[in-house]
């Protein structure tokens, strides 16, 4: 009998969490036209490359993929959005990064931070390649 009560309590808690998340998504995403409309500037930036495209779209998630990079935009609830980037750079390996912002955070600033991260990584890779090249010449 105790197990049934515990299962019922856990089930009730999970149900309330899912219900609260759905209500939060409705209030902060769906009422703004959904993920694609709410984050349209960011999506436009991330799909500029010809091989980039939206590969998954749900009420609280967008996945954008290209040949070398995948970006996830996840509405986490409680008014926050998480952006995850994973890229494969030939000869240099993988890079990844996660950013968390309030859902009302400027998309222009998010784009700037992504560009700064990618630019910094490219500079690091260029330095490594230059050092490798110098070592090969010596």
Q: Choose the weakest-confidence range: 8-17, 66-75, 87-96, 103-112.
A: 87-96
pTM of the model: 0.77
Is the pLDDT at 72 greater than 90? The verdict is yes
Residue 32 DSSP label = G
- The stretch 121-134 carries a mean pLDDT of 74
Tell me the C-alpha distance between 111 and 101, whole Å.
12
Token pair for residue 107?
């998309």
First to last CA, the chain: 78
What's the CATH number where 103 sits? 3.90.1150
- Of 20 and 115, which is predicted with more confidence? 115
The domain total for the chain is 1
Residue 94 C-alpha from the chain's centroid: 16
| Domain with 88 in it | 2-137
The per-residue pLDDT for 132 is: 66
Number of neighbouring beta carbons within 10 Å of residue 6: 10
């Amino acid at each position: 009998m105790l197990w049934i009560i515990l299962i019922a309590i856990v089930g009730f808690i999970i149900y309330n969490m899912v219900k609260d998340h759905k209500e939060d998504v409705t209030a902060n995403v769906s009422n703004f036209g959904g993920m694609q409309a709410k984050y349209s500037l960011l999506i436009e930036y991330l799909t500029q490359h010809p091989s980039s495209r939206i590969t998954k779209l749900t009420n609280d998630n967008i996945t954008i993929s290209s040949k070398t990079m995948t970006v996830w935009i996840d509405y986490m609830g409680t008014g926050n959005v998480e952006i995850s980037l994973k890229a494969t750079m030939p000869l240099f390996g993988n890079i990844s990064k996660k950013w968390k912002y309030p859902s009302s955070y400027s998309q222009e600033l998010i784009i700037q931070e992504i560009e700064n991260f990618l630019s910094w990584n490219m500079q690091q890779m260029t330095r490594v390649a230059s050092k490798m090249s110098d070592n090969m010449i010596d």
